[in-house]
Chain A
Amino acid sequence: MGDIRRIGQADSAELFDWAKQLQAPLPLVQELAETGRLPVPLFCAGGIATPADAALAMQLGAEAVFVGSGIFKSDEPERRARAIVEATTHFQDADVLAKVSRGLGAPMTGIGMDEINQRYAERGW
């Protein structure tokens, strides 16, 4: 999102540079500078585990949030899924967020770095 804002401020010479840097077609970068947004919906995905995570992603500028393991690896997938949908829909409403975050059971947990057994640097591809 920050880069999108910077591209919006860039002059035509800088846009050439952005296109090279991003390895993106210049007309697309120009369109982005003009309209201030991508011509496709911006989905946010990766590590969304709680309704609050989803609401945060929306507040930061995502147009949609994708949740996978965050739902399937939680204690109560169906309840948590509903809660995340409501939090995403009403992402600016703190009361809704607080209400749906209650009684969901445990969320998915991450994997600590020291718990990882397979280290690709040692194993190779």
Chain B
Amino acid sequence: MNIGILALQGAFAAHQRVLTDLGASVTLVRGVEDVNDLDGIVLPGGESTTMSMLLDSSGIAAPLRERVRNGFPAFGTCAGLILLAEKIVDGRADQQQLGGLAITARRNGYGRQIDSFEASISVSEAGNTFAMNGVFIRAPRIEEVTGDVEVLGTVNGDAVLVRQGNILGATFHPELSDDHRVHEMFLKMVSRCHNDLEQAQEVRS
């Protein structure tokens, strides 16, 4: 299984460290040719308007948007989540979405850089409930959750970890802590999708 990490801007290195520790094979994605042969993609934290601009100039935007909308496993943290959100508030007029996650996210929803914080997240996923520490850095705030989006984690009632189909999104930075459970969740999603695809191919042949 080969996991791509969008490496045009932002904290892709931190995700690379976690995924490598978890035994995944990782590709840093900077060009259109890097998008092939991937089983999933991670969209890291950073600055979403810059990522949007570079996704466009590198030619990655269109093919990646197409794949994500067709069920390609994607995991977005912070700026990455903003890219995946169907609707955003307080964005730049020219920033573009990849979409796929039926949520509305407000950029800088908790305030400016100085309002960054750490908080305990109540997580409930596949029958497991636990608390984990979340690092929120100039985080977006999920203001609306629609469709069949599952809320997996909350802080003070706000959704901070969500999933829809093969897309996982976090407004915090699991890659900046030693707790790798969210990344493990994503790897499981990728593995299931990979197995489903293989089974579908076997049935056809």
A-B contact pairs, 13 of them (CB 8 A): A63-B13, A85-B54, A86-B57, A89-B8, A89-B9, A89-B30, A89-B54, A89-B58, A90-B30, A90-B31, A90-B58, A93-B30, A93-B31
Which of A's residues lie within 8 Å of B, judged by CB?
63, 85-86, 89-90, 93
A84: shortest Cβ distance to chain B, in Å? 13
Alpha-carbon gap, A90 to B30, bound state (A): 7
List 10 additional A-B contacts (Cβ < 8 Å) besides A63-B13, A86-B57. A85-B54, A89-B8, A89-B9, A89-B30, A89-B54, A89-B58, A90-B30, A90-B31, A90-B58, A93-B30
Q: Count residues of B near A (Cβ-Cβ below 8 Å).
A: 8
Alpha-carbon gap, A85 to B56, bound state (A): 13
Kindly list chain A residues whose C-beta atoms are within 8 Å of the C-beta of B30.
Answer: 89-90, 93
Closest to A91 in B: B30
Leading 9 A-B pairs by shortest Cβ distance: A89-B8, A89-B54, A90-B30, A89-B9, A86-B57, A89-B30, A63-B13, A93-B30, A93-B31
Residues facing A in B32-56 (CB within 8 A) are 54
Which of B's residues lie within 8 Å of A, judged by CB?
8-9, 13, 30-31, 54, 57-58
Alpha-carbon gap, A90 to B58, bound state (A): 9
Kindly list chain A residues whose C-beta atoms are within 8 Å of the C-beta of B8.
Answer: 89
Alpha-carbon gap, A90 to B60, bound state (A): 13
Kindly list chain B residues whose C-beta atoms are within 8 Å of the C-beta of A89.
Answer: 8-9, 30, 54, 58
Alpha-carbon gap, A86 to B58, bound state (A): 9
B138: shortest Cβ distance to chain A, in Å? 14
Alpha-carbon gap, A89 to B28, bound state (A): 12
Alpha-carbon gap, A70 to B9, bound state (A): 21
Most buried by B among A85, A86, A89, A93: A89
Alpha-carbon gap, A85 to B52, bound state (A): 13
Kindly list chain B residues whose C-beta atoms are within 8 Å of the C-beta of A63.
Answer: 13
Alpha-carbon gap, A90 to B28, bound state (A): 11
Closest to B57 in A: A86
Alpha-carbon gap, A86 to B30, bound state (A): 11
Kindly list chain A residues whose C-beta atoms are within 8 Å of the C-beta of B13.
Answer: 63
Kindly list chain B residues whose C-beta atoms are within 8 Å of the C-beta of A90.
Answer: 30-31, 58
Kindly list chain B residues whose C-beta atoms are within 8 Å of the C-beta of A85.
Answer: 54
Alpha-carbon gap, A86 to B54, bound state (A): 8
Alpha-carbon gap, A85 to B9, bound state (A): 10
Alpha-carbon gap, A90 to B7, bound state (A): 9
Closest to A64 in B: B9
B83: shortest Cβ distance to chain A, in Å? 16
Kindly list chain B residues whose C-beta atoms are within 8 Å of the C-beta of A93.
Answer: 30-31
Kindly list chain B residues whose C-beta atoms are within 8 Å of the C-beta of A86.
Answer: 57
Kindly list chain A residues whose C-beta atoms are within 8 Å of the C-beta of B9.
Answer: 89
Alpha-carbon gap, A85 to B53, bound state (A): 11
Alpha-carbon gap, A63 to B8, bound state (A): 12
Alpha-carbon gap, A91 to B196, bound state (A): 37
Alpha-carbon gap, A63 to B9, bound state (A): 10
Alpha-carbon gap, A93 to B54, bound state (A): 15
A123: shortest Cβ distance to chain B, in Å? 39
